[in-house]
Amino acid sequence: MSERRVRVYDDKQSLADAVAARFLKRLAEVLAEKPMAHIVLTGGTMGETVLASVAAAKGRDKVDWSRVTFWWGDERYLPSGDPERNETQSRRALLDELDLPGANIKAYPAPGEHPTIEAAADAYAAELAAAAPAGEAYPVFDLTFLGVGPDGHVASLFPDHEAVRDREHVVLAETASPKPPPERLTLTLPVINSSERVWLVLAGPDKAGALGLTLADANPADVPAAGVKGRMRTVFFVDAEAAAEVPENLLTRERFWTAAHEVPQTR
């Protein structure tokens, strides 16, 4: 049965450091059981900050990174190397420092690589299928990182957009994003929810409303983050500012607790 947990940290840096440490521990557990780990990364300030904390962690070089494949939940449809691309941010923060085969970095296509953005979405879907077990459309994702926007969006699945309701595709082209740039590529919600674990990382007071609505089980069409559910576990890693406005009726031992009140674990 899938579990949902919330862990609260004092500030953004302690949050990022804690997530990084848990990630390295969880990755070691996965690699002890499987020949290859599939990790889905996110972008944004906290996504990059977490990866920078991984890069600085003492345990970083204990990981056999040749056995880790990185994907992304979404991407801004911008030229390769553009500083606003999630791939560029992830490379800068961590990936370029690792002993990692180029084939293990599964970046989304950039403009010009395919005739249309829809063809680019199909190409990434085909790449996912090529890495999947026989008969499946995508690999088993061991861990998916997500950020959450102030409007509750995850990846490039925005409130009231058709993409958040899509149950047929693996990858979609979003051509009218309310955030610039308007063109993006994204995994669909069912693909995200196929992940063994999903970790959502939120920081800052502007995320408080979205977190509260998500934990109150809002309609995913209105608050896409509320529709996220990893197969085994969904964890919200948040700082105190993001947690400040969570409704009191959700601040219970069963639904919500701080890192100081728990026994450290990743499973």
Give the separation between CA 83 and CA 130, rounded to whole angstroms.
28
Across the chain, mean pLDDT equals 92
Amino acid identity, position 243: A
CA angle 137, 140, 142 (to 5 degrees): 150
Average pLDDT rounded to a whole number, residues 192-219: 95
The full DSSP string for 166-233 is: --S-SEEEE---SSSSS-EEEE-HHHHTTSSEEEEEE-SGGGHHHHHHHHTT--TTT-GGGG---SSE
Amino acid identity, position 127: E
Average pLDDT rounded to a whole number, residues 120-147: 97
Give the separation between CA 122 and CA 192, rounded to whole angstroms.
17
* Lowest-pLDDT range of 53-67, 198-212, 237-251: 237-251
Contact 4, 214 (CB under 8 A): no
**195 falls in which pLDDT band (50, 70, 90)?**
very high
* Lowest-pLDDT range of 13-17, 160-164, 226-230, 239-243: 239-243
Q: Could you read off the pLDDT of 2-56 as tens digits, one per residue?
A: 788 899 999 999 999 999 999 999 999 999 999 999 999 999 999 999 999 999 9
Specify the pLDDT at position 94: 98
Choose the CATH number for 10-232 among 3.40.50.150, 3.40.50.720, 3.40.50.1360, 3.60.20.40: 3.40.50.1360
For the cut 90, the answer to whether the pLDDT of residue 178 exceeds it is yes
Look up the pTM and report it. Answer: 0.92
